[in-house]
């Protein structure tokens, strides 16, 4: 296995880690205005603070996985970075804007007691949690499906080229599964009415997620070259995702929330891994001419650069994993009425 392949795998791992860790963060943000409904404004504010504090210690650390994936793409495959960031400029601009608004909202909502002020930032959290997974997965689906790239590695389409049915289906499905993921996470991290509402949402949303994932899986066989790339039909990896989401539903109805959370995480991981498996050894598929596709070889940095990056990754990645694992362990307990709410 050469360094080009190793770095392709590492980037796939970074994106997978981002979706697994930030996925439930996004889900909690999407559910924020809805699970907190109450006739008493004070109760609404308390529920929203409770929900935000379940992800408060983690959301910014989880976003680092996306930043690291972008940085690794720039360093290991600069032609991929250049083509993708120039061609998907508008989508990426909206993504960064949404993430900035979301981060500011977490920090600013509790700066004053004014209900209108807090409601404004709460809806910013909702929008900032909804748009990023939608845009990221739409972009990833387009990369796998193929976009117009010419012989000079230049993107020849427009923003609206990205808004095709397959990519939009992928984005909507991602939003649904992350919302389910967030509901299960809240079932693990809260008590009382918020926990009960989260469990109800998870039960109602699970069948919709299953339909969305099955539709996305079927459409992948028509929109991409998965069969030629993996030489499988339908393939053990996609089927593993189907099995895990079905198990998640069973566990949700049995209120075995910890295992349901794990099965949902596996579903997300399998889906992302499948997309990267379809892509390899390409990094961007050209819909104009397969020969113009960017690969891990024609889009990569020099071998010397990849060797240096590998040494740095071997040293620092384990340290980051240890630190993040420790932070989750420290904040593992459920939040109750006696818990200190920072946000």
Q: What is the pLDDT of residues 260-272, one digit of tens each?
A: 999 999 999 999 9
Provide mean pLDDT across the span 200-227.
Answer: 92
| Contact present, 189 and 54 (Cβ < 8 Å) | yes
3-state secondary structure 179-224: HHHHHHHHHHHCCHHHHHHHHHHHHHHHHHHHHHHHHHHHHHHHHC
User: pLDDT for 241-262, tens place per residue?
Assistant: 788 999 999 999 999 999 999 9
**Helix/strand/coil for 284:** strand
Provide mean pLDDT across the span 77-81.
Answer: 94
Provide mean pLDDT across the span 111-122.
Answer: 90
Q: Does the pLDDT of residue 230 top 80, yes or no?
A: no
Q: What is the predicted pLDDT for the residue at 279?
A: 92
pLDDT confidence band for 226 (50 / 70 / 90): confident
Cα separations (Å) of 80 from 72, 89, 124, 272? 11, 13, 32, 18
**Helix/strand/coil for 295:** strand
Q: Does the pLDDT of residue 236 top 70, yes or no?
A: no
- Average pLDDT score over the chain: 90
pLDDT confidence band for 228 (50 / 70 / 90): confident
The domain locations on the chain are 3-330
Provide the CATH topology of domain 3-330.
Answer: Formate dehydrogenase/DMSO reductase fold (1.20.1630)
| pTM value surpassing 0.85 | yes
């Amino acid at each position: 296995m050469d360094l080009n392949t190793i770095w392709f795998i590492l980037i796939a791992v970074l994106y997978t880690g981002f979706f697994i860790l930030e996925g439930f963060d996004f889900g909690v943000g999407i559910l924020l205005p809805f699970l907190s409904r109450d006739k008493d404004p004070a109760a609404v504010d308390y529920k929203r603070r409770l929900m935000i504090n379940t992800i408060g210690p983690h959301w910014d650390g989880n976003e680092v996985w996306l930043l690291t994936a972008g940085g690794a793409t720039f360093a290991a495959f600069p032609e991929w970075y250049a083509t993708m960031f120039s061609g998907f400029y508008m989508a990426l601009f909206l993504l960064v804007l949404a993430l900035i608004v979301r981060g500011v909202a977490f920090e600013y909502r509790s700066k004053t007691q004014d209900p209108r002020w807090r409601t404004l930032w709460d809806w910013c959290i909702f929008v900032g949690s909804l748009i990023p997974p939608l845009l990221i997965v739409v972009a990833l689906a387009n990369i796998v499906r193929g976009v117009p790239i010419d012989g000079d590695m230049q993107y020849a389409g427009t923003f609206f080229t990205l808004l095709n049915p397959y990519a939009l289906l992928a984005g909507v499905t991602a939003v649904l599964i992350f919302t389910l993921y967030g509901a299960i996470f809240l079932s693990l991290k809260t008590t009382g009415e918020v926990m009960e509402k989260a469990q109800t949402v998870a039960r109602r949303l699970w069948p919709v997620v299953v339909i969305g994932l099955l539709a996305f899986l079927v459409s992948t066989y028509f929109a991409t070259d998965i069969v030629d790339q993996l030489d499988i039909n339908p393939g053990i990896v996609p089927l593993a995702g189907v099995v895990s989401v079905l198990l998640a539903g069973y566990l949700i109805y049995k209120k075995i929330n910890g295992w349901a959370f794990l099965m949902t995480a596996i579903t997300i991981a399998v889906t992302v891994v499948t997309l990267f498996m379809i892509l390899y050894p390409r990094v961007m598929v050209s819909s104009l001419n397969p020969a113009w596709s960017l690969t891990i070889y024609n889009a990569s940095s020099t071998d010397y650069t990849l060797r240096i990056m590998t040494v740095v990754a071997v040293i620092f990645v384990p340290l980051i994993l240890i630190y993040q694992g420790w932070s989750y362990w420290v904040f593992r307990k459920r939040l109750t009425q006696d818990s200190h709410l920072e946000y």
